[in-house]
Structure 1
């Protein structure tokens, strides 16, 4: 099933329509659907060469590239390989002088690893041929560090040659819901909170079955793909996965500052900083700060990949049951004891995603400078408080929201608390809009209070998902 990616496809189609040389860099973490996106884009193109580089020797990659360039003859035979990468690529560029050609090199870091001179070779060919070429060259890769530093970075031979770039990100909760159909809004949020928006992970789930069933039959269990994926993913991306696991585990247990992680696992400050930077580049964690607060000392780290978060918090607590083959019992305990609180935190992310979508579409008439959350000290109560959803608009507006993932409807007390805390975020806001997001709706008293205040919007989970 192909869902979403309308913006990414639009960028690719715009580049293709120019009918001049284009170099588009497409990158993103593994399993996020980059190759699927490019296959979709090239489906209706008349002249496409798609080369899938492999983690192998230069000679093997040259042989595979030659087969893509030369194709098969009239007898169905593939001609002998080119003697060099330069000869193979010169053939492609020469052909593109007279043909609109899409040439995709997928997993470009593997090619560069096997033949380090490939970027310089492409640079020379691009500089020599770009004015006459009709090639749309697409370089695609999963190694985030390589693509950002050695393809897009200023020290790369290819620096300045790209005409467009796409960082393909995981789906938000709403595109994910399309892959989880026929799940209702509540189950969509629950399942999204367990695996996030990586398409390959979503494909493992069954939206027609309960969250507990999916936990027992799709996520927990030593033989399950999703259970082993966090450690497998790290093993592919880093050299010392055990230490990265320790950092992620520390974050999952509530250590959100580098100094807390350092004290928790006994590593040096510089080592912790390095691990955090790498995990951030991999999209496993993110650095967050209170909206409107430029003080770096107030920043925190959090696990933003839902599969990693579920694995290191929910699954880790029940590892002994899972190892004994008692996935059903582990899933039952998670649903009964932990799931509501866990999903409540992810519901905050979902609410922010919804708000940003509403702003993008114009349904919320605010142009956002920042969208995130806020925390700080309430001087009136001398305690630390937070605001689940906070956005500052281009014209000084403030949007503040509270999220409730509970079985009972949200009451007017929640609205009163939100209104009080919003004043702490930005006292000089040109306009303040309050949002309450609730799994189970709102009490009549809360609805009446919202109507009286006039600047309040009440949003249920069903409304967010168009149900």
Structure 2
């Protein structure tokens, strides 16, 4: 099933429509659907060549490249048709002088690993041929660090040659829900909170079945793809996965500052900083700061990949049951005791995603400088407070939101507390907009209070998914 990616497809189509030489860089973490996106874009185009680089020798990659350039099945060619990479690529550049051609090099980092001179070779060919070539060259890769530093970075031979770039990210909750159909809004949020928006992960689930069923039959279990995926993903991306696991486990236990993570994991300060940086590049952990606060000392780390979050904060707790084949009992326990609190944290992100969609579509008249969370000290009450959803607008507006993933409706007391905290996000705001997000709706008193205030919007989870 292909869903979403309309913005990414639009960028690719715009580049193709120019008819001139284009070099588009497409990158993103593994399993996020980059190759599927490119094949969808290429569908129906008259001349497309795909080269899938491999983690193998230069000779093997040259053989596969030769087959792709000539449009042959690689299995039909025992020897490369071209003696060198330069000869193969010169041929494809020359061919594109007379015809529009899409040439995709998928997993470009593997090609560069086997033949380190490839970027310099492409630089030379681009500089010589871009004026006459009608080729749309697409360099695609899953190694985030390599693509950002060795392709897009200022020290790369290819620096300045790209005409467009796409960082393909996991789906948000709403595109994920399309893959989880026919799940309703509540189940969509629960399943999304367990695996995140990576298409391959979502494909493992069955939206027609309960969250408990999906836990027992799709996530828990030693033979399940999703159960082993966090470990497999790290093993593919880093050299010392055990130490990275220690850092992730520390964050899952509630360590949010670098020094606390360092102490919990038993690592040095420099090692911790390096692991955190790598995990940020992999999209597993992110560093966040309060909206409107530039003080780096106030920043926190959190797990932002929901499969990793559920694995380290939920699934690992029941590893002994899973190892004994008691997946159903573990799933029941998670749903009964852990799931509501766990999903509540992810629901905050879902609410921020919904707000950004509303702003983008013009339904919320604010141009945001920042959208995120806010935390700090309420000097009036001498306590530390959090605002789940916070945004500061270009004209001094403040948006403040509270998220409740609970079985009972939200009361007016919650709205009153939120109104007070909104003042802490930014003093003397030009305008304040308040949002309450709820799994189970609102009391009549809360609705009346919101109507009386006039600057409040009450949003249920069902309403969030109605028109997305």
What secondary structure sits across from 2:466 in the alignment?
Answer: coil
Contact 2:63–2:79 under 8 Å retained in 1: no
Query: What do residues 19-40 of structure 1 show as CA deviations (whole Å, max 9, x unaligned)?
Result: 0000000000000000000000
Aligned to 2:236: 236
Q: Name the Cα RMSD after superposition.
A: 1.1
Contact 1:221–1:327 under 8 Å retained in 2: yes
What pairs up with 1:134-283 in 2 under 5 angstroms? 134-283=134-283
Aligned to 1:9: 9
What pairs up with 1:450-465 in 2 under 5 angstroms? 450-465=450-465
Query: What do residues 257-293 of structure 1 show as CA deviations (whole Å, max 9, x unaligned)?
Result: 0100111121111110000000000000100000000
Q: Is residue 2:24 matched to residue 1:24? A: yes
Query: What do residues 95-140 of structure 1 show as CA deviations (whole Å, max 9, x unaligned)?
Result: 0000000000000000000000000000000000000010000000
**CA displacement at 1:81 relative to structure 2:** 2.0
* Aligned mates of 1:77, 1:438 — CA distance in 2: 60
Aligned to 1:44: 44
Contact 1:67–1:79 under 8 Å retained in 2: no
What pairs up with 1:287-366 in 2 under 5 angstroms? 287-366=287-366
Aligned to 1:57: 57
- TM-score scaled by length of structure 2: 0.98
* Aligned mates of 2:426, 2:262 — CA distance in 1: 33
**CA displacement at 1:80 relative to structure 2:** 4.9
* Aligned mates of 1:71, 1:111 — CA distance in 2: 19
* Aligned mates of 1:233, 1:269 — CA distance in 2: 25
* Aligned mates of 1:316, 1:229 — CA distance in 2: 13
**CA displacement at 1:240 relative to structure 2:** 0.2
Aligned to 2:423: 423
Query: What do residues 372-404 of structure 1 show as CA deviations (whole Å, max 9, x unaligned)?
Result: 000000111111000000011111110100000
Query: What do residues 388-442 of structure 1 show as CA deviations (whole Å, max 9, x unaligned)?
Result: 0001111111010000000010000000010011111112111000000000000
- TM-score scaled by length of structure 1: 0.98
Aligned to 1:118: 118
* Aligned mates of 1:448, 1:33 — CA distance in 2: 45
Aligned to 1:286: 286
* Aligned mates of 1:143, 1:425 — CA distance in 2: 37
* Aligned mates of 2:307, 2:253 — CA distance in 1: 15
Structure 1: 5+ residue stretches without partners: none
Contact 2:351–2:437 under 8 Å retained in 1: yes
> CA 1:72/1:220 → structure 2, altered by over 3 Å: closer, same or farther?
closer
* Aligned mates of 2:410, 2:242 — CA distance in 1: 43
What secondary structure sits across from 2:26 in the alignment?
Answer: strand
* Aligned mates of 2:307, 2:374 — CA distance in 1: 25
Structure 2: 5+ residue stretches without partners: none
Aligned length: 465
Segment drifting more, 79-88 vs 392-401: 79-88
**CA displacement at 1:72 relative to structure 2:** 4.1
